Amino acid sequence: MSFLQLLHNLDINRYEAAAVCLFVIGLCGLMFNRNLFKKIISMEFMDAAIFLFLTCNGGVIGHLAPIITDPSAAPSIEVYTNPLPAGLVLTGIVVSVSFTAFGLALTLRLYKKYHTLNIDEIIRKMKQSEEY
């Protein structure tokens, strides 16, 4: 496959490409930030990337949302989009909210004890209080 063909394919799957970029941005933020709060925000970026990926994989441009407006007519797969990814994303969003709240609560407790959000400082102070 030539390079141009590759770029053309990326243009067709551009929503997925955007999701991949968002995911890697979140991963970089998770690895290179020392601040715990920023780490949690990066995790949210990764969540958003996964949701975008799932949603755009389930959709078909031109089809209707999976809510039947006319119950008397038999619903057909030619008219509506796939409802399964929407359900999965809904589940994921709720779990991500719970996770964020839990992480922020842990961060708040750490801040109250060590008066810093920097993960290195926290580990250093923790080791000090353990050993000496």
Partner 1 sequence: MKAPKWYRKLEQWVEGDARDLKEPKAHDESITESTRKIENHNGPSLIRASRSELISAVSRISAVICCFVLLVVMMFTVAFMPTTSTESNVTMNETAKRYIEQGMDEVGATNLVANIILVYRGFDTYGESCVLFLGATAVIMLLANDRKNETEKDRAAQRLSDKLDAKIPNQVLVDVTKVLMPVLLLYGAYILCNGHLSPGGGFAGGSLIGGAMILCENAYGVNKVRTFFGHTVYHAVKVGALVFYAALIMYTIFVGSNGLENIFPKGTPGSLLSAGIILPINIAVGLEVACTMYAFYTYFVRGEL
123 binds partner 1 (CB under 8 A): no
56 binds partner 1 (CB under 8 A): yes
Q: DSSP class of residue 71?
A: T
Burial-class residue 49 by CB neighbours within 10 Å (0-12, 13-18, 19+): buried
Strand, coil or helix: 108: helix
126 binds partner 1 (CB under 8 A): no
83 binds partner 1 (CB under 8 A): yes
33 binds partner 1 (CB under 8 A): no
Q: What is the distance between the alpha carbons of residues 88 and 50, in angstroms, rounded to a whole number?
A: 11
- Chosen residue from 4, 39, 109, 126 binding partner 1 by CB under 8 A: 109
Burial-class residue 55 by CB neighbours within 10 Å (0-12, 13-18, 19+): middle
Q: DSSP class of residue 85?
A: H
Give me the residues that bind partner 1 (CB under 8 A), please.
Answer: 6, 9-10, 12-13, 15-17, 20-21, 23-24, 27-28, 31-32, 56-61, 65-69, 71, 74-77, 80, 82-87, 90-91, 93-95, 97-99, 101-102, 104-106, 108-109, 112, 120, 124, 128, 131-132
